[in-house]
Structure 1
Amino acid sequence: MKQTQIEYDLSTLPSSLLAYLDGATIYDSSSSAQAKTLFIDGAQRLFLKIAAAHTLEREYRMNAFLHKHELAPLSLVYTTYGEQDYLLTVAVSGDDGIAESFLQQPERLATALGQHLRKLHSLPLHGCPYRERSSEILLEASPSVQIELQTDTRYQPVDKTIIHGDYCLPNVMMNDFELCGFIDNGDGGIGDRHYDLAWGLWSLQFNLETDRYHDYFLNGYGRDDVDPNGIVYFRQIIDSLDF
């Protein structure tokens, strides 16, 4: 995880955050144009995400749900101040899935990625704040892909699983391949398992620059619950996204 030490003007922040940042060393850990992420190294190890107003509530609520199952960071503050949202969370222990120590063991990494996804997908649905994610996900696709998938009879999504919604290696925190938790949970909810499976395969291809380890991932997850048509369905959506 990239971290660059910076000076930050604390006077620009809402007062509810200041006590947490007092005397801390601040690092820019941003990885997205949509949000600034600061690593706060002080009395506690924290992350502060800053984005457009009313865009971080979903992440705050999904964090709360997943934290009850010990799979996401504890949120300390969520607030809207001016035109921006602020979400302060306790740092999850471990390293993200693109740490060099993990990438050097690709078979073990791919297997762990599948196993950890199975753990997420095994959670009970009760209390999850967002439902029917597949219909929302379809609307994110390009218009041509939306039309194609709406008339495709080979696969119909089934929303009966807790999904991450952006299941990529950087969002899985591990210690010696053991799961510590998931981060960037704002796209999660009750959806179709194959969306996460398609993202996991995409991430392995992107980060390892080969599809050689796809079978390790699917075997780690458990092939009995994998429908190849579901992966094809959601891969079309992923490939149409602008990122």
Structure 2
Amino acid sequence: MKQTKMNYDLSTLPTSLLPYVNGATIYDSSSSPQAKTLLIDGSERLFLKIAAAHTLEREYRMNAFLHQHELAPASLLYTTEQQQDYLLTTAVAGEDGVADAFMQQPERLAAALGNHLRRLHTIPVDGCPYAHRSADILLEASPAMQAELQASGDYTPVDDVIIHGDYCLPNVIMNNFELCGFIDNGDGGIGDRHHDLAWGLWSLQFNLETDRYHEHFLDAYGRKDIDEKGIVYFSRIIDSLDF
């Protein structure tokens, strides 16, 4: 996780955040052009995410849900001011899945990614704030891909597990390959397991630059609950996205 020490103008922040940031050392830990992420290193380590107004509410609510199951950071404050959202969370101890210590053991990493996804998919769906995620996910695909998938009828999504929605190595925080928690949970909800499986395969290919470890990932997750047609369905949606 990239972290660059910076001088940040605290006067630009909502006053409700100042007790958390005054006197702290601040690092830029951003990884997306859609949001600025700051590491607040003070009396405790916190993360502050800043994005366009009303774009972080989903992450705030999914964090709260997953934190009940000890799978996400605690959300300390969420507010919208001057057309911007601010989300302050605790820091999850550990390193993300693209840390060198993990990348140097790709077979173990792929298996851990599968095991941790299985854990997420086995928690109860009761109380989850977002349902019917597969319909939303289909709308993210290009119009041409939407038409193809609906016309083919090869696979019908089943929304029956809690999905992460962006299940990639940087969003899985571990310590010695043991799960510490998930971050960037704003795309989560009740959805089809194969969406996360497809993203996991995509991330292994992208980050390790090979598909050699796909089988380790799928075996660790559990083949009995995997439908190859489901992986193809969601992989086609992912491939149609404009990154």
> TM-score higher than 0.5 here?
yes
Asked whether 1:111 is paired with 2:111, we answer yes
Structure 2 CA distance for aligned equivalents of residues 102 and 137 of structure 1: 30
| Aligned-pair CA distance for 1:152 | 1.7
Q: Which moved more, 1:199-208 or 1:145-154?
A: 145-154
Aligned to 1:163: 163
Hey, what does 1:52 align to over in structure 2?
A: 52
- Matched AA of 2:19: A
Question: Where does residue 141 of structure 1 map in the other structure?
Answer: 141
1:78-227 superposed matches below 5 A? 78-227=78-227
SS at match of 1:130: coil
Aligned length: 243
- Which residue does the alignment assign to 2:239? 239
| 1:198 positional shift | 0.1
State the Cα deviation string for residues 94-126 of structure 1 (Å, max 9, x = none).
Answer: 000000000000000000000000000001010
| C-alpha distance after superposition, 1:76-111 (max 9, x if no partner) | 000001110000000000000000000000000000
Q: Which letter maps to 1:107?
A: E
Q: Deviations over 1:190-243 (max 9, x none)?
A: 000000000000000000000000000001100000000000000010011111
CA RMSD of aligned residues (A): 0.4
Show CA shifts across 1:127-157 (max 9, x none): 0000000000000000100000111221100
> Which whole-Å CA distance do the structure 2 matches of 1:89 and 1:44 have between them?
11
The sequence identity of aligned pairs, in percent, is 76
Find the aligned partners of 1:187 and 1:154 in 2 and give their Cα distance: 25
Runs of 4+ more than 4 Å apart: none
Q: What do the CA deviations read for 1:148-196 (whole angstroms, capped 9, x no partner)?
A: 0111221100001100000000000000000000000000000000000
Name the aligned partner's letter for residue 103 of structure 1.
Answer: M
Please, what TM-score do these two structures have when normalized by structure 2?
1.00
Query: Aligned partners of 2:9, 2:171: CA distance in 1, in Å?
Result: 28
Are 1:72 and 2:72 counterparts? Answer: yes
User: 1:32 corresponds to which residue?
Assistant: 32
What is the deviation of 1:36?
A: 0.3
- TM-score after normalising by structure 1: 1.00
User: What residue identity is the alignment partner of 1:198?
Assistant: A
**What is the distance in 1 between the residues matched to 2:152 and 2:60?**
35
Unaligned runs of 5+ in 1: none
Instruction: Give 3-state SS (helix, strand or coil) of 1:43's partner.
Output: coil
